[in-house]
Structure 1
Amino acid sequence: MGGTLFKKEWMIGDLHPHVFAYYFKQWSDYAMTFHTHDSIEIMYVISGVCVIGFEGTAEAEGCDMTLKKGDFVILNANTPHRLTVDERGPCRMLNVEFDFRERQAAFPSMRQLAVEDEFVAELITEPSSYLFLRDPSEVYQVLKGLVLELDRKGKNLNMKAELLFAQLILAIARLRSETGSEGASSIDRYVKQAIEYMHHNYDRDIQVKDIAAAVSLHPGYLHRVFRAQLGKTLTGYLTELRMEKAMMLLRETDIAIADICDYVGVGSRQYFHAMFKKYTDSTPIAYRNSLNTQIWDYRGQKNANESDDF
């Protein structure tokens, strides 16, 4: 996705938050079409699971991100997105839509916050039109307090609401920094989650976008970090996993060769045979036959030795 999370011109003037809408909402078995808002939006998952989809552009492919309890995403204005809640059950969310405008206020503007706090400065220059984060709990507590204060006083921010909004920006900026500073450990976690997902789902027709959605990362980013960590692509790893499983099934079971492809998530028998031949330099039937021959020879030799001993 192109664009940035916030507008760079916010660093020039003294702009303060203006809230358009804020609401709690529980969604069940729901799928909306792609749409945009003229305002920035925070979508925070309180309970359940949902999927936020981002529409592709000429510069980048679209992707889906799975959000669970404690996950939230910030979307820049006019970022095409949609919400989907499937059969996994209801998803309860807290949404806040806002932007920044010139007005009199007792608390620092975004520019002043950025001058005083390096993490806010980095947040403003985030080079993406959306940002996904996992919250330990601090962001939700501040966000909930802000919404409750707005309910009491209306959308016009009073002194307490101004303070809570500044606290919200600071909390998000710190969380973003801490998530990024985890460095290799954070990347390791995503790679391990991707591997675990593949080992649990290799028998299904899964693609890179499905793996990325399961770990809540952009497919392109997950592809890069996975390859950097393991020296192979996600598709390459999945193919190796499937072929090793196929070899095990041919070696250890009497499952019909024609059915093996269904056990390893390759729907086409011809494609499975081609993949297996490329991976093992043998066809599935030749591989199984060679194993049967080896077992027969081994057993025959063993029996001969036993008769010699006795």
Structure 2
Amino acid sequence: MFVSETLFKPEWMAGDSYPHVFAYYFKQWADYSMSFHTHDAIEIMYVISGQCGIEVEATKAAPACEMTLGKGEFIVLDANIPHRLTVDERGPCRMLNVEFDFRERQTAFPSMRQLALEDELVASLITEPSSYLFLRDQSDLYPVLKSLVLELDSRGKSVNVRTELLFAQLIVTIARIHHEAKAKGINPANLYMKQAIEYMHHNYDRDIRVKDIAAAVSLHPGYLHRLFRTQQGQSLTGYLTELRMEKAKMLLRETDIAITDICDYVGVGSRQYFHAMFKKYSNQTPIAYRYSVNTQHLDSRGRIEE
């Protein structure tokens, strides 16, 4: 079993190879868990609606990955990479899949090598040092992918002018999406970290859990937790607690909000738990912290409010 250290096989750049499609289909999955398996072909898995989980085993070119794909998101997966699909009870996931490789044959159309020589973005895609790519469509790819599959259906996989053009357009479009993601300086891990952090900053006042954060960024909770710890050096819950306690300190320092109410402002439902959490985080009780920064808040009886 051969696994290249780039997204596409290096030999496709050495000679003139052309697309050969093995399989293509629409499929709706519901409450389903697939076993790990491989294909001898490159696979594009595009989510039309719903959500599905994708797990990819580690290779020399890329680490193991576990991710949730939502509408408009897709994976380009190299040949012979162990992977599996899961769809939970939250609802069905409808996908469009295409499996293909490249082979030598007679045609007047440009080969993958020629496309790469003419378009540096295609060359970058082909030589990407990974065995898979997770990308997000901006409505450009799906019409091309759908048209290609419908054309293949009408021709029974035989090659014609339109399938050649559509396949070239498919590769060029994926290359553009890949380039735009890299140009923004956001690789998939950084993108999901940014989204998770933004979600916590927008929702720290609510009773949110790891599963809520994961759902907001379309990742499996376990994978997000591991990714966040690797990228940020702390757990999701640790980051959220730190965020809430810093917000609490700001409210104690800069406002006259009653200490008994601040727990509600930072998403901690229990006042006793808030006091314990704040003391553990700052080595002071909330009231002692407010004293220390000279922002005492007196109730109507002239007593410091507990």
TM range (shorter): 0.7 to 0.9
Q: Tell me if structure 2 keeps the 8 A contact 1:5–1:130.
A: yes
Q: Tell me if structure 2 keeps the 8 A contact 1:26–1:91.
A: yes
Offset at residue 190 of structure 1 (A): 4.6
The residue number in structure 1 matching 2:184 is 182
- Equivalent of 1:252 in 257, 260, 271: 260
CA distance in 1, matches of 2:259, 2:132: 48
CA distance in 1, matches of 2:43, 2:175: 16
Opposite residue 25 of structure 1, the aligned amino acid is K
SS in 1 for 2:302: helix
- Listed one character per residue, the Cα deviations across residues 172-203 of structure 1 (whole Å, up to 9, x for unaligned) are 11121122222379999655421244354885
Q: Where do 5+ consecutive residues of structure 1 fail to align? A: 256-260, 304-310
Count matched residues: 282
The residue number in structure 1 matching 2:149 is 147
How has the CA–CA distance of structure 1 residues 54 and 203 changed in structure 2, closer, same or farther, with 3 Å as cutoff? farther
Offset at residue 171 of structure 1 (A): 1.0
Opposite residue 214 of structure 1, the aligned amino acid is S
The residue number in structure 1 matching 2:255 is none
How has the CA–CA distance of structure 1 residues 131 and 30 changed in structure 2, closer, same or farther, with 3 Å as cutoff? same
- Equivalent of 1:39 in 38, 41, 46: 41
TM-score, L = length of structure 1: 0.73
| RMSD of aligned residue pairs (Cα, Å) | 4.4
- Listed one character per residue, the Cα deviations across residues 8-59 of structure 1 (whole Å, up to 9, x for unaligned) are 1211011111100000001111121221111100001111121212234689
The residue number in structure 1 matching 2:218 is 214
CA distance in 2, matches of 1:177, 1:297: 55
- Equivalent of 1:105 in 104, 107, 126: 107
User: Where do residues 189-208 of structure 1 align in structure 2 (5 Å cutoff)?
Assistant: 190-198=192-200, 200=203, 203=207, 206=210
How has the CA–CA distance of structure 1 residues 103 and 214 changed in structure 2, closer, same or farther, with 3 Å as cutoff? same
CA distance in 1, matches of 2:63, 2:110: 38
Offset at residue 63 of structure 1 (A): 2.6
Opposite residue 175 of structure 1, the aligned amino acid is I
Q: Tell me if structure 1 keeps the 8 A contact 2:199–2:216.
A: no
Q: Where do 5+ consecutive residues of structure 2 fail to align? A: 252-257
Offset at residue 130 of structure 1 (A): 0.8
The residue number in structure 1 matching 2:68 is 66
Q: Does residue 1:121 correspond to 2:123, yes or no?
A: yes
SS in 2 for 1:25: strand
Q: Tell me if structure 2 keeps the 8 A contact 1:106–1:159.
A: no
The residue number in structure 1 matching 2:80 is 78
Q: Tell me if structure 1 keeps the 8 A contact 2:51–2:87.
A: yes
Offset at residue 279 of structure 1 (A): 1.9
How has the CA–CA distance of structure 1 residues 116 and 49 changed in structure 2, closer, same or farther, with 3 Å as cutoff? same
SS in 2 for 1:36: coil
Opposite residue 20 of structure 1, the aligned amino acid is F
CA distance in 2, matches of 1:71, 1:59: 22
Larger radius of gyration: 1
- Listed one character per residue, the Cα deviations across residues 118-157 of structure 1 (whole Å, up to 9, x for unaligned) are 0110000111111111112221111111111111111232
Offset at residue 87 of structure 1 (A): 2.6
SS in 2 for 1:172: helix
Opposite residue 76 of structure 1, the aligned amino acid is D
Offset at residue 98 of structure 1 (A): 0.4
TM-score, L = length of structure 2: 0.74
Opposite residue 210 of structure 2, the aligned amino acid is I
Q: Tell me if structure 2 keeps the 8 A contact 1:194–1:215.
A: no
The residue number in structure 1 matching 2:302 is 302
- Listed one character per residue, the Cα deviations across residues 216-249 of structure 1 (whole Å, up to 9, x for unaligned) are 9x8699659965xxxx75645234035458889x
Per mean C-alpha deviation after superposition, the further-off stretch among 46-55 and 112-121 is 46-55
How has the CA–CA distance of structure 1 residues 125 and 212 changed in structure 2, closer, same or farther, with 3 Å as cutoff? farther
The residue number in structure 1 matching 2:254 is none
